[in-house]
């Protein structure tokens, strides 16, 4: 080690010891500098477009589907960085739902008991909404049967249940589905026969993607859910 | 230059813990504490790699330094509640109540997952974690390991200390893994499969309505008190929760 290295070492040590409240790591962190220069003052779209590679993940992470819009609120589920595909095979980000009231349900297509009942209830809610609200309310089904609920199976499900274009039927990776389930508090577990034990929980999101209501169980609660969509 | 790096890391308190080693947990069977009537009696678990000890404050500091969105002041409440890293002195300063070599606690499932992803790893599943933790000090099945059970129940009886001890300072289990019992509780990837709806198959109609397939609660082994505690904890948690004695370690598939 040269004497200049020793001097540098001594200086760094002195800084580390003599500056309580200021971590050396913090000051020297490239991520920290990037954050200050990039994310805080600038809108996300500008931030992501302007910065050269490599892009810091934390800087550009939520800007995929709403580059021109403001950041999601701190309670918005749309902060979840998870990739889904719909029943036509098109990529779908939850942030695309921003601005619409949403009724969200996790399900699996071969479910023989609760899921068909819940979809029937959601259809009843949909048909009972005032026309204007009905036209902009999204009914979102996300499958936790990531292996069997292929795009084709989900498309078939749409046809069988007569679900119109306001219904968005999604599949995703195990990771994506588990994180979404965790956010809304749905528990599920695959059983040995391939079916799923799962919570029966319909979640109503407002235009910002925040949870405003949850309907638990299979009986009743339709009016409250519809009222939450109207808020 | 090596000396320079060593001195610098010591000055930053990073020298207290060795880089984490992974141990191989051989394939085995996990008998779920509670299972559905439709479930097989046991779950086969493939061999996998598990961190030999929980993730430390020093390691988590490096993570939040590189990933600002997971710093205490910047994390979204959606992904971590208000006590996230509350015991740290600052965003990038664990401070005296979070020694570098102690396990990081007060982290959410989302944060633990993000850390694991950044390390090219994942969280262990419940079945994997329980299989690894079923080993005794000297044998793969620790159910009747008196030393292990004594240490485990002594730990359960003690209040959570204000400052956690260093990881890997106790006795490793048969697989070479430290601290699966006796230091902190640990997140598992599928914590939200734990559905505690009642104490018997006699669940009410309401509960059957809350959970599709809820004829699922029959305890196989009612003597494993510690396993019940883990099950109760997992079933009570939300993914953004953080607590004073809940940490994590990472796992990885074995290369094929």
Question: Which CATH number fits the domain that encloses residue B122?
Answer: 3.90.1580.10
Find the range with the poorest average confidence among A95-109, A176-190, B9-23.
B9-23
- Average pLDDT in the A205-221 region? 90
Taking a contact as any Cβ pair under 8 Å apart, which residues of chain B between 142 and 181 contact chain A? none
The parent domain of residue B141 ranges over: 20-253
What's chain A's length in residues? 231
Contact B213 A196 (CB under 8 A): yes
Specify if B7 maps to a domain. Answer: no
Both tokens of B169, joined, read 């300072």
- Selecting from B11, B38, B76 the residue whose C-beta is nearest the C-beta of A16 gives B11
- Determine the residue among A6, A8, A16, A25 to mutate to test chain B binding: the one whose Cβ has the most chain B Cβ atoms within 10 Å: A25
Residue A171 CA to residue A174 CA, distance in Å, equals 9
Q: Are strands A138-143 and A167-172 parallel, antiparallel or unpaired?
A: parallel
Cβ within 8 Å of residue B6, ≥6 positions away: B15
User: Nearest residue of A to residue B211 by CA position?
Assistant: A199
Domain for residue B3, yes or no?
A: no
Q: What is the Cα gyration radius of chain A? A: 23
**How much is the pLDDT for A107?**
92
Nearest CA in chain B to A115: B212
| CB B39 within 8 Å of CB B51 | no
For A71, the 3-state DSSP assignment is coil
Which two tokens mark B27?
Answer: 């394939």
Q: In the predicted model, what is the mean pLDDT of chain A?
A: 76
Instruction: Calculate the dihedral angle through the C-alpha atoms of B201, B204, B206, B208, rounding to the nearest 10 degrees.
Output: 20
State residue A197's pLDDT score: 80
Whether B92 and A181 lie within 8 Å, measured CB to CB = no
Residue A41 scores a pLDDT above 80: no
Name the domain count of chain B.
1
Q: Which chain A residues have a beta carbon less than 8 Å from that of B95?
A: none
Picking from A189, A192, A208, A220 by the largest number of B CB atoms within 10 A of its own CB, the best residue to mutate is: A189
Q: Is A178 in a helix, a strand, or coil?
A: helix
Contact A114 B212 (CB under 8 A): yes
At B16, give phi and psi (nearest 5°): -75, -25
Q: Is the pLDDT of residue A131 over 70?
A: yes
CA-CA-CA-CA torsion sign (A139, A145, A151, A155): negative
- Of A108 and A50, the structure prediction assigns the larger pLDDT to A108
- Domain membership of residue B11 (yes or no) is no
The answer to whether residue A53 scores a pLDDT higher than 60 is no
Collect all residues of chain B within an 8 Å Cβ-Cβ radius of residue A210: none
Q: Where are the domains of chain A?
A: 3-60, 77-230
CATH number assigned to the domain covering A77-230: 3.40.30.10
**CA-to-CA distance for B130 and B126, rounded, in angstroms?**
6
Per-residue pLDDT, A108 = 92
- Range name among A74-88, A124-138, B192-206 with the lowest pLDDT average: B192-206
Contact B238 A182 (CB under 8 A): yes
**Of B7, B212, B235, Cβ closest to residue A113:** B212
The dihedral formed by the CA atoms of B159, B164, B165 and B167, expressed in degrees to the nearest 10: 110
Q: Does some domain include residue B8?
A: no
Residue A143 and residue A107 in contact, taking contact as beta carbons nearer than 8 Å:
yes
Contact of A187 with A181, CB cutoff 8 Å: yes
A25·B69 Cβ contact <8 A: no
For residue range A62-87, list pLDDT tens digits in order.
444 444 468 999 999 999 989 999 99
Tens digit of each residue's pLDDT (9 = 90 or more) over A193-203: 788 888 888 99
Residues of A in contact with B79 (CB under 8 A): 79
d(CA A8, CA A14): 10
- CA–CA dist A118, A185 (Å, integer): 17
Q: Please check the confidence at residue A34 and state whether its pLDDT lies above 50.
A: no
The partner residue sitting opposite B192, judged by closest CB among A79, A113, A182, is A182
**B16 vs A14, higher pLDDT:** B16
DSSP string covering B182-219, please?
TT-EE--TTGGG-----SSS---HHHHHHEET-----B
Q: What is the ipTM of this complex?
A: 0.77
Q: Which of B122-136, B152-166, B196-210, B237-251 has the lowest mean pLDDT?
A: B196-210
Check pLDDT > 60 for residue B201: no
């Amino acid at each position: 080690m040269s004497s200049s290295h020793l001097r540098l070492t001594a200086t760094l040590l002195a800084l580390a010891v003599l500056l309580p409240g200021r971590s050396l790591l913090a000051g020297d962190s490239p991520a920290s500098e990037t954050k200050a220069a990039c994310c805080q003052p600038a809108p996300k779209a500008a931030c992501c477009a302007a910065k050269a590679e490599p892009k810091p993940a934390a800087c550009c992470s939520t800007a995929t589907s709403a580059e021109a819009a403001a950041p999601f609120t701190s309670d918005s589920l749309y902060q979840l960085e998870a990739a889904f595909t719909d029943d036509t095979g098109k990529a779908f980000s939850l942030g695309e739902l921003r601005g619409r009231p949403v009724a969200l349900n996790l399900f699996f297509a071969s479910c023989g008991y609760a899921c068909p009942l819940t979809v029937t209830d959601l259809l009843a809610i949909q048909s009972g909404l005032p026309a204007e609200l009905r036209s902009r309310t999204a009914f979102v089904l996300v499958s936790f049967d990531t292996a069997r609920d292929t795009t084709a199976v989900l498309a078939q499900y749409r046809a069988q249940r007569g679900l119109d274009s306001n219904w968005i039927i999604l599949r995703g990776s195990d990771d994506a589905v588990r994180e979404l389930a965790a956010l809304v508090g749905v528990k599920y577990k695959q059983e040995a026969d391939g079916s799923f034990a799962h919570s029966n929980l319909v979640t109503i999101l407002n235009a910002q993607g925040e949870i405003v209501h949850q309907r638990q169980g299979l009986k009743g609660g339709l009016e409250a859910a519809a009222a939450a969509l109207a808020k | 230059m090596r000396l320079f790096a060593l001195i610098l890391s010591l000055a930053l308190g990073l020298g207290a813990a060795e880089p984490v080693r992974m141990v191989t947990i051989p394939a085995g069977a996990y008998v779920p504490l509670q299972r559905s009537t439709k479930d097989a009696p046991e779950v086969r678990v493939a061999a996998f790699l598990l961190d030999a000890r929980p993730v430390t404050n020093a390691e988590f500091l490096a993570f939040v330094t590189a990933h600002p969105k997971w710093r205490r002041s910047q994390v979204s409440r959606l992904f971590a509640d208000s006590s996230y890293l509350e015991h740290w002195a600052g965003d990038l300063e664990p401070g005296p109540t979070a020694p570098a070599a102690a396990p990081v606690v007060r982290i959410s499932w989302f944060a633990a997952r993000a850390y694991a992803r950044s390390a090219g790893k994942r969280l262990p599943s419940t079945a994997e974690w329980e299989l690894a933790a079923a080993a005794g000090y000297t044998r793969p099945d620790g159910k009747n390991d008196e030393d292990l059970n004594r240490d485990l129940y002594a730990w359960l009886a003690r209040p959570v200390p204000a400052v956690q001890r260093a990881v890997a300072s106790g006795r490793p289990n048969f697989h070479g893994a430290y601290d699966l019992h006796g230091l902190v509780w640990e997140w598992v990837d599928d914590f939200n499969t734990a559905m505690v709806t009642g104490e018997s198959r006699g669940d009410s109609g309401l509960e059957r309505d809350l959970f599709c397939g809820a004829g699922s609660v029959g305890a196989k082994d009612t003597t494993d008190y510690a396993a019940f505690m883990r099950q109760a904890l997992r079933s009570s948690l939300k993914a953004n929760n953080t607590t004073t004695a809940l940490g994590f370690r990472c796992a990885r598939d074995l290369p094929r």
